[in-house]
């Protein structure tokens, strides 16, 4: 049922995206060509000549939206993630649109209209996601569009997740109970999660009940039970997620690397390990430091003169420091510092 709801929601979002892109173009065209706010050049294109490229680029926009995750379930996504995805998708879209116009040699297509379209389409996408998010939260709080889940393992992990569910009722999760080999049936965990059976009951339970997701919350010492649990969930096509017992020792967003087919969880993400990020960071450092030196040069010159006048000795003091990859470098600063 949840999967069907998601399909319907995605169809609605796609339709709204198409409407919002067309509306963004119409508003942009009006502001550029008819509002009188922006002076017009002689010999501009007709409305039809402006509209056709937009209609051709809309499918590409939808592909980009899907690529950046705007059609993924956002039950657990933060508002920041939604807005960031909408902005990123529209930035990618306007870049592709510009490239397409360049390749098609559409040299008379208004650059101002293109800029307005990029801004307005981004605002529309952000507002659309915010409204859809608010509507879905209200629906879930009313008891609709909910996910029925069970825990495999009645450890402290199930209790911690249950505590978060109580604080975020808009997620729309209904906990049916937990299966555990160490706690008696019909008992409760400290966070009042009902123990409804043992792990041996997982297969008949999935067969008899409509379960949307299974959260594996086994203690680390019970991880040898993972394989049969995952096999049973795969058999019934139930989405399975693992809350690892070592989550307290890893950052909020670890990343997984692969060593010849062996997955390795890297607990420290260093953005500058990426060559593109490193290049952007280096360019930003050089640019901003150059601007900073130019802007503060009168103060620097005045400081140097004051040091020279008021005390004997060199103006600049240098010292060896250890930097990136333990490489030594020479640091320079005013002697007064």
pLDDT digits (tens, 9 = 90+) for 276-298: 778 888 888 888 889 988 988 88
Q: How far separated are the first and last CA of the chain, in Å rounded?
A: 68
pLDDT at 4 over 70: no
Strands (E), 42-138: none
7-33 b/e (C-beta count within 10 Å ≥ 16 → b): eebeeebeebbeebbeebbbbbbebbb
Lowest mean pLDDT among 86-90, 231-235, 277-281, 289-293: 277-281
In sequence order, the β-bridge partners of residue 259 are: 262
Mean pLDDT computed over 314-325:
83
The C-alpha atoms of residue 306 and residue 185 are separated, in whole angstroms, by 81
Strand partners, 331: 319
Residues facing 208 on adjacent strands: none
| Confidence (pLDDT) at 45 | 74
H or E element, residue 319: strand 316-322
pLDDT over 60 (residue 246): yes
The answer to whether the CB of 75 falls within 8 A of the CB of 147 is yes
Q: What letter does residue 188 receive in the DSSP assignment?
A: B
Of 129-133, 139-143, 165-169, 242-246, the range with the lowest mean pLDDT is 139-143
Average pLDDT of the segment spanning 98-104? 85
Q: How far apart are CA 68 and CA 299, in angstroms?
A: 46
Q: What percent of the chain has pLDDT over 90?
A: 35
Calpha distance 18→34 (Å, rounded): 23
Kindly indicate the confidence band of residue 177, based on its pLDDT and cuts at 50, 70 and 90.
very high
The residue among 291 and 254 whose pLDDT is bigger is 291
Phi and psi, residue 119, nearest 5°? -70, -50
Average pLDDT over residues 231-236: 93
Across 180-327, the runs of DSSP E, i.e. the strands, are 195-197, 213-216, 239-242, 255-259, 262-266, 316-322
Q: Determine which of 171-180, 184-193, 328-337 has the lowest per-residue pLDDT on average.
A: 328-337
Q: Give the confidence band of 62 by pLDDT, cuts at 50, 70, 90.
A: very high
pTM score, two decimals? 0.62
Taking CA atoms, 156 is separated from 186, 194, 222, 229, in Å, by 17, 13, 13, 19
Does residue 59 have a pLDDT over 90?
A: yes
């Amino acid at each position: 049922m949840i999967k069907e709801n998601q399909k319907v929601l995605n169809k609605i979002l796609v339709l709204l995206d198409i409407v919002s892109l067309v509306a963004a173009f119409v508003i942009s065209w009006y502001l550029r060509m008819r509002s009188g706010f922006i002076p017009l050049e002689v010999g501009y294109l007709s409305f039809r000549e402006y509209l056709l490229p937009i209609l051709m680029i809309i499918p590409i926009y939808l592909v980009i939206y899907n690529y950046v995750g705007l059609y993924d379930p956002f039950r657990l996504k933060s508002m920041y993630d939604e807005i960031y995805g909408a902005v990123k998708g529209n930035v990618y879209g306007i870049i592709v649109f510009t490239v397409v116009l360049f390749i098609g040699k559409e040299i008379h297509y208004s650059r101002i209209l293109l800029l307005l379209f990029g801004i307005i389409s981004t605002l529309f996408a952000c507002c659309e996601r915010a409204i859809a998010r608010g509507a879905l939260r209200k629906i879930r709080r009313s008891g609709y569009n909910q996910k029925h889940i069970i825990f495999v393992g009645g450890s402290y992990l199930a209790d911690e997740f249950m505590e978060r569910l109580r604080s975020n009722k808009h997620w729309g999760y209904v906990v049916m109970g937990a299966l555990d080999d160490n706690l008696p049936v019909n008992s409760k965990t400290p966070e009042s999660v009902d123990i409804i059976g043992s792990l041996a009951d997982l297969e008949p339970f999935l067969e008899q009940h409509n379960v949307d997701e299974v959260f594996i919350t086994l203690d680390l010492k019970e991880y040898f039970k993972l394989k049969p649990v995952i096999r049973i969930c795969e058999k019934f096509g139930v989405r399975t997620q693992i809350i690892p017992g070592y989550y307290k020792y890893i950052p909020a967003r670890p990343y997984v690397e692969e060593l010849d087919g062996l997955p390795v969880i890297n607990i420290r993400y260093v953005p500058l390990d990426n060559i593109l990020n490193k290049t952007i960071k280096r360019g930003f450092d050089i640019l901003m430091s150059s601007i900073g030196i130019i802007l503060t040069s009168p103060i620097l010159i005045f400081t140097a003169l004051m040091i020279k006048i008021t005390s004997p000795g060199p103006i600049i003091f240098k010292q060896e420091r250890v930097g990136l990859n333990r490489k030594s470098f020479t640091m320079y600063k005013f002697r007064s510092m």
